[in-house]
Amino acid sequence: MRVALKFAYDGSVFWGYQRQPNVRTVEGDIIKALNRTKMIQGVKENNFQSSSRTDRGASAVGNVIAFDTDFKKGQMLRALNSNVKDVYFWGFAEVNDDFNPRHARQRWYRYHLDKGLDLDGLKRASSLFVGEHDFKNFCRRSERSTVRRMDSIKVSRKRNFIYLDIKGESFLWNMVRRMVLALVKYANGEIPKKAITEALAGKQTDFGLAPAHPLFLMDVTYDFTFEVRESSIPPSFRQNYEKVLIQGELFSTLQERIG
């Protein structure tokens, strides 16, 4: 059978997503776990594929891999979670033999911005990106087509951050981070709206690249759903979560003291 698994990871502790020798990557750690649990014989033999190669530093709540396997369905998530660190498998689906996770219905990215930014400015400028555009000024140069369709961009202020929730079928390399920096520059009054519309119309422009670590791949969706299995999440999730909350207490308490 062929299966698709959905998983989260903390990008701050990896050297990017894509497997490469001598450094710790998300894909590399996942493949090691698949080999160790004997879920696959090899990447090629079992047609292992990843949905999205997120940037170094970026995290994911719901990235997707697919591979062929004979492993027992009900035990896969738990077995993998016991063999990875800082990666959390939480969704399972049995898929068609020709399923390739790169071909998604929609990808959802979230970028975390300073909550002090001008919310209305961000909303005004983000609407410019919605719809079909040539994003050649919002990516690393590449040979292939740079036309993409943004389904929606939602701007909302939450407790600690402004969320920029961006949805579309597929994205170019660095695209979200380049869009984000243009939006921030507009919200800060550093560039006029016209600079963005002209860049989308083709005028060569380089707004620069926003940092990677505030970027999350929130979800990748297909024309089927994943079974969600909370029980397979390992105790390390709760422990790491608590550790991060305690670190947050340190910084917020200090901020109150000196503020």
**Does the protein bind a copy of itself through residue 248 (CB under 8 A)?**
yes
How does strand 59-68 pair with strand 49-50?
Answer: antiparallel
For this structure, is 114 an active site residue? no
Rounded Cα distance, 229 and 72, in Å:
15
CB of 115 to a copy of itself, least distance (A): 10
Q: Which is nearer to a copy of itself, 2 or 213 (CB)?
A: 213
**Does the protein bind a copy of itself through residue 259 (CB under 8 A)?**
yes
DSSP 8-state code for residue 3: E
Type of residue numbered 36? R
Q: Which is nearer to a copy of itself, 183 or 217 (CB)?
A: 217
CB of 245 to a copy of itself, least distance (A): 5
Give the per-residue contact string, 202-231, with a copy of itself (x = CB under 8 A; - = no). Answer: -----------xx-x-x---------xxx-
Which residues in 96-125 contact a copy of itself (CB under 8 A)? 112
**Does the protein bind a copy of itself through residue 243 (CB under 8 A)?**
yes
**Does the protein bind a copy of itself through residue 250 (CB under 8 A)?**
yes
Which residues in 145-184 contact a copy of itself (CB under 8 A)? 160-161
Catalytic residue, from 55, 97, 98, 151: name it.
Answer: 55
- Cα separations (Å) of 76 from 34, 98, 147? 10, 20, 38
CB of 199 to a copy of itself, least distance (A): 27
CB 181 within 8 A of CB 214: no
DSSP 8-state code for residue 54: P
**Does the protein bind a copy of itself through residue 241 (CB under 8 A)?**
yes
Tokens 């502790």, residue located: 13
Rounded Cα distance, 43 and 255, in Å:
48
Quote the tokens at residue 1: 């059978």
**Cβ contacts of 212 within 8 Å, gap of 6 or more:** 11, 55, 56, 57, 58, 177
For the chain, how far is it from start to end, CA to CA, in angstroms? 58
Give residues in contact with a copy of itself (CB under 8 A): 8, 10, 12, 59, 61-62, 88, 90, 112, 160-161, 213-214, 216, 218, 228-230, 233, 237, 240-255, 257-259
| Residues classed as catalytic | 55
